[in-house]
Chain A
């Protein structure tokens, strides 16, 4: 700041300071500090002093480092203070995915009675909060966690009984069976019930069938 001062009737314009000889030699400089805006010691680092608007202030902002950060469980506490450099604290039990981090983990897969497949994953990772240089005013840190799942509904088939016929019957691959699938059997599927020379499902017939013929002249019916 500069002031227009009057000394012995003479006006001196824009004087920012007054220089007066010191007893024994040298010059003492006296400054107009009225333009300085510092208003408390809380606006200056601990260990320093300065003048502002006619008052001498002593700084009171503590300087902190990483060693001042504390962790309890998943909570990191960052004390108020000045951090001249980045400070960090590892969180032992932190679990998270951060926007810039991908965590790979083996999922747990379950299949419900209705054929719903669910893949779930819960990942964990240590988190190291960091603080850039500056004065931290207040606050309490915490942890980050992430989990997720995905599902797929399978094609299901309830309990069914199949009667063998002349064409094959197929259950599509990938079908989740929610009930017993029963292929019917028949006690008559034996060689004696199948005409000799015929095979049904691998069972070769052995039953004899009468051969009937009629003479075209005599009209005699022969059964052998």
Chain B
């Protein structure tokens, strides 16, 4: 998103970000995030973060794998919450 901003009496049009020098060197970029549409943590995968409309969201969507096999699965297969479908055998 970009904004028409007024700074020290001057108008700057369609500004998507502001770049400022950092103490010690380099620059820091500040972004307008009002056009982002994420509204909840449940829209981003667990382990990731992102900004939307001025808010930092921490993802909460879990990843689950599912596996198939013809015998009892190894205890090292997958993680808690995964699904295992045994295709034959007792």
CB atoms of A134 and B62 under 8 A apart:
yes
Q: List the count of A-B residue pairs having beta carbons below 8 Å apart.
A: 204
User: How extensive is the interface on chain B, given as a class?
Assistant: 35 or more
CB atoms of A23 and B6 under 8 A apart:
yes
CB atoms of A30 and B17 under 8 A apart:
yes
Cβ contacts under 8 Å, A11 to chain B: 23
From DSSP, what is the main secondary structure of chain B's interface residues? Answer: strand
User: How extensive is the interface on chain A, given as a class?
Assistant: 35 or more
Offer 26 A-B interface pairs, CB within 8 angstroms, sorted by A.
Answer: A11-B23, A18-B20, A20-B18, A21-B6, A23-B4, A30-B30, A31-B51, A32-B28, A36-B49, A38-B59, A44-B43, A44-B50, A44-B59, A45-B44, A49-B36, A49-B52, A50-B51, A52-B49, A52-B51, A76-B85, A132-B64, A133-B62, A134-B64, A136-B64, A141-B66, A143-B88
Chain A interfacial positions (CB closer than 8 Å to B): 3-7, 11, 13, 15, 17-18, 20-24, 28-39, 43-45, 47-52, 54, 56-57, 59, 61, 74, 76, 78, 82, 97, 129-148
